[in-house]
Chains A and B, each alone.
Chain A
Amino acid sequence: MRVPYSWLREYCAPGLEIEELADLLALRTTEVERILRVGPPSSDAFVVGRVLSVERHPDADRLSVCEVETGESTRTIVCGAPNVAAGQLVPVALPGAVMPGGEELGRAKLRGVTSDGMILSEAELQMGEDEDGIAVLESTPAPGTPLDELLPFAEQVLELEVSSNRVDCFGVYGVAREVHAFTGAPLAPAPWEEDAEAEGTGQASDYASVKVEVPELCPRFTARVFTDVTIGPSPLWLKALLVAAGQRPINNVVDITNYAMLLTSQPLHAFDLDRVPDGALIIRTAADSERMTTLDGVERTFDAESVLVCDRNGPSGIAGIMGGQVSEVSDSTTAVLLEVATWNGVNILRTSRRLGLRSEASNRFEKQLHPDLTMYAQRVASRLMVELCGAKLVPGTIDVAADPPPPRVVTLRAGRAEALLGMRIEPELCAAYLERLGFAVEREDDALTAEVPPHRYYDVGREADLIEEVGRIHGYDEHLPATLPHASSRGGRLTREQVLRRRAEDVLRDSGYDAIVTLSLVDPALPGRLRLPDGDLRAAPIRVSNPLSVEHSELRTTLLGSLLDVARYNLARGAERVALFESGRVYVAEGESVAGGPLGGEFAGERPAPAFEAHCLAALAVGSLRAPSWRDPARPNDFFALKGVLDALAAQLGVELVLEPEAHPFLHPGRAARVLVAGDEAGWLGEVHPLVCREWDLDRATAFQLHLAELIAASPYGAEHYEDVTTYPAVHQDLAIVVDEDVPAARVRGAVLAGGGDLLRSAAIFDLYRGEQVGEGRKSLALRLEFRAPDRTLTDEEVAGRREAIKNTLGEIGGTLRE
């Protein structure tokens, strides 16, 4: 909403620089987007001139040499406009004037003749679009009169970002009322208090009729009739005002409707009455797929919820949004029907959204206007119709109205305001603020009853709403103290899951992996690129019905895709290696978490979440993680490199992970595993399938993804119990075990642990050997064992006994000890 400051000052003049006023508006009412300047930066050196004579320029056909009286002097001005004529009163810029573009006007020689100033067109004043001719002033000011006494042409304009509840501030008078409320500067009487004299013939109902078929969507429809209308351009002051307010001047009638809307916030629409058969208007909903061409020349198709203003032949306008061409006011119009209606805001919003058509009118109607505003706008417009178009107002207003909304009276307890705001506002101040805002206030002790005025009817209905009114006008910035709540009966802390999620993320970061954050809306092609087959839940993502683009139309079912994207992005930009992880959610239609909780997709609230969202931790490495140095070569980032990271993660959480070979469509079939935590599946680890790597232009990549809820649920963190490991020494032994090649290491270790019994506290594989010494098809695994008893020093005999037992359990899997 653009508010020219001079227009605002007509109704409330706070005596402030515009910057000060903008600050106050922002702090008391609504956001101020910026302060604009329309026209030249200063009105200095712009005056009224009288053209005394016009002669053809001796050396240029299109130029005239004019003698112009500008007050005390007469000066020669060269002018290019075809319509300049002796006797005209015109706007003149004298040398030294700063033009709207910022350049200073000097004396210029035009084809040998010195021009001592410039006669201005509307476009040059930024007051209109007419570039061809000079602006001719209608009234009869004396030559030399400063131009700003006639026209708001060097205008400062406030551009407000009005919040959607404040439809009153979509009108200049509404903004003036706010300025009045927070500065106390007097407010001029409302411009609609006086109506025009009705001097036309007959009654409005003799000329026109209105039938509202949908009263719930059109609570009020008023119409006035004007005869003897002369269509023409608006006077310069009106054009200037509209331009400053961001509107294009069209003709006097249309400009009047815009002026009245900008002043009252109630939109209006003018019909050429002679083009409405019998003056009969019908307000109805559209037939499905009904069509009409709007004023902008576009043919539009409606659905059954759109409300149309129709004449006998069909639609002539979309209610509250835009008129049609059939009964548009034109140069030949002599009778005008002025429609001022109230529409159902939600219906207007829906139709405007569906059509993709917004207008100044729909922007106001969609916020819901009170029916009383219709007559405000009728009165403002009627006076101008009479004044500017020579029109005669026909007596009577056609007024089809449903029952008006009941009066709304709200009580404000001063104590309640203080309790909610934490600042005290004296009851007499509360009353004063509300009265300035247009509420009718009655006071009883510390309680006020306030009747809500029409312009605030749909925004204010409860005590809390009144508290906001008095609080903001009083001024949060000046009066609101800063305190802290003292009501909490609980301390703040992170949950165990939140602490351990941070720990898990930190382990990966400390292992050299960069934490990334990627977009969770992905391309439908992703499951295919990851080779996920139909029937896999991850290949059936949750879809957005109204995506912005196909690339972001489905929720990710795995973190792998975005990890691959980011890897490729960075490799393409010169990174030699990338190690990435993301801690975030994946989304599928159904699923369940054994562990539950927010990380497992179980959230607070009575209604369950409509999808299954599990928090995952996923990592991807491409290239050697550690840069080669002069001492160490680079190490390949293969399955075991990443498994080492997984092991570190498990160790930091105190969780035992079990890996079992398992094929995944997107992983190398021989280098892929599923990860089990406490017997439950919790994710996967593997080298990315070469075909998937190729999709992302990668040579080789390794990745894992884990469900955090399960991982964290299995962690003993916080419940660890002290164990005496220092009083009695441990005994260490190394074993070399030869088994067949196809016996997995985990089975060998399992056999060792089984044979070792309680005394065997750990068994770690530290070497793998294949070669002549163990024979074809066999391998040798070296394990380091630690035996310990909590209550005694172990004897050699005890350890030797365990070793024998291990020999036996190894025998069961075909393993032998290399002595």
Chain B
Amino acid sequence: MPDVQGRIEELRREGEEAIASASDAAALEEARVRYLGRKAELTQILRGIAELPAAERGPVGSSANQLREALEASIAGRGAEIQAGELERELRAEAVDVTLPGSPVAPRGSRNLLIRTMREIEDVFVGLGYRVMEGPEVELDYYNFTALNHPPGHPARMAQDTFYVDPESLDAALRIEPAPTRPSEEVSGPALPPGPEDVVLRTHTSPMQVRSMEAAEPPIMIIVPGRCYRSDPFDATHSPIFHQVEGLAVGESITLADLKGTLDEFARAIFGPERETRFRPGFFPFTEPSVEVDVSCFRCGGSGELADGSRDPLCKGIGWIEILGSGMVDPNVYGFVADRGYDPERIQGFAFGMGIERIAMLKHGVPDLRKFFDNDVRVLEQFR
């Protein structure tokens, strides 16, 4: 009577060794057929269990089955190892020259700095509770001047170097009846005959002050970004076409101090968290009081001196840079929208106007305003 149990142990040793030494999928399959195939010795043993004496059947069956399971597990494990090794070889063969340049993605365009600056300013004021409005660039003299307390003949309206539109080039049906002019409480000198009802290219974004108040009762908080025109010849800081952002906040208790707080917020958002503003007296016909606004210099920090002790050329050693004009809306302006609930005894507020080109030039060190309109792609690429 052969020692079946002993043979099973031998088969275990032989089988595990054959599996472990199989170096590829074919060798492993050969081992599987030899030790677990239909004709394999272990298979024969399992089939012959019934012929064994009753006392041996249980132990032999148990051992043989254990061996079969163990070998199956070993084959699976070894198979996984062999597969991993083969994949590893394949992948190694697929190696690339990592130093070649990458495939270009679809290129992303850049953006004229004026657009970016305009959006930044819009976002600051939206965050402060403002809505963004837009108005016509071909504008009635009435909105550009008269309703902004520049009565006909007022020096300020002549000082603005206005482009006038040839009425022959406008649609006759769209031409407007002369608007009523309003006596300006004798503040502007002896009375004068009213001027012609001209159409102009707006000289500032301020016409939207009156348009917006005509359209909505107080309170109102808006900004108006847009293009403006003045007959200033091109130079480093002037262009006949430029961009402004107007601001208007009118309610029952909006103060000059609120203007200061608002512009402080604006200055910090655009020029850096340490910035502050200061007000100087100014003159605009449509605000009273009027103030010019400076921001503390963001290069020297307001000291007027650079780290090496030299004079800061950006603020010319002053420590402050003028950024905009503003003030409390003049009572005469409300007079033009009195029927929309703008009673200067009951409501008050501020307005401001800033040049986008100037803000962008200051913030990014652009030396010449004309660069914005050249649209040189090498410059555009600097500001994504």
Contact = CB atoms under 8 A, between A and B. Distances in A.
A194 interface: no
A461 B216 CA distance: 29
Interface stretch (A571-579, A687-695, A784-792): A571-579
Interface string A73-103: 0000000000000000000000000000000
B377 A578 contact: yes
A216 B190 contact: yes
A400 B264 CA distance: 54
Given A420-B328, A546-B164, A569-B374, A512 B109 contact: yes
> A-side binding surface: helix, strand, loop or mixed?
loop
A533 to B, nearest CB: 18
- The number of chain A residues touching the other chain, given as a range, is 35 or more
B131 A492 contact: yes
Q: Chain B CB within 10 Å — which of A509, A552, A603 has the most?
A: A603
Contacts of A164: 155-156, 159, 283
A458 B186 CA distance: 8
B133 interface: yes
A515 B110 contact: yes
A462 B331 contact: yes
B132 interface: yes
Contacts of A423: 256-257
Contacts of B373: 517-519
B333 to A, nearest CB: 11
Interface stretch (B6-14, B67-75, B77-85, B166-174): B166-174
A544 B214 contact: no
B261 interface: yes
Q: Chain A CB within 10 Å — which of B135, B375, B376 has the most?
A: B375
A472 interface: yes
B240 A422 contact: no
Contacts of A566: 375
A70 interface: no
Given A493-B131, A521-B240, A544-B165, A163 B176 contact: no
Interface stretch (B20-28, B30-38, B46-54, B114-122): B114-122
B137 A585 contact: yes
Interface in A471-503: 471-472, 476-477, 480-495, 498, 502
Contacts of B227: 520, 584-585
Contacts of A766: none
A422 B163 contact: no
Interface in A578-592: 578-581, 583-585, 587, 589-590
Q: Chain A CB within 10 Å — which of B131, B134, B155, B377 has the most?
A: B377
A630 to B, nearest CB: 7
B143 interface: yes
Contact of B112 (A516, A545, A598): A516
Given A462-B187, A509-B111, A514-B377, A27 B142 contact: no
Contacts of A745: none
Contact of B289 (A26, A472, A483, A510): A472
A721 interface: no
Interface in A523-559: 540-548, 552, 555
B375 A569 contact: yes
B289 A492 contact: no
Interface stretch (B57-65, B87-95, B99-107, B305-313): B99-107
A512 B114 contact: no
A610 B280 contact: no
Interface string A325-354: 000000000000000000011100110010
Contacts of A587: 137-138
Interface stretch (A205-213, A287-295, A435-443, A621-629): A621-629
A484 B165 CA distance: 40
Interface in A244-291: none
A745 B125 CA distance: 48
Q: Chain B CB within 10 Å — which of A350, A368, A419, A555 has the most?
A: A555
Contacts of B138: 542, 555, 587, 609-611, 613
A482 B263 CA distance: 9
Given A467-B289, A472-B281, 10 more contacts: A216-B190, A472-B289, A486-B253, A493-B126, A515-B110, A543-B169, A581-B109, A603-B134, A611-B174, A612-B174
17 contacts: A219-B190, A344-B190, A346-B154, A350-B158, A462-B288, A464-B289, A464-B328, A490-B221, A492-B221, A505-B115, A542-B138, A543-B166, A543-B169, A570-B377, A603-B211, A604-B214, A610-B139
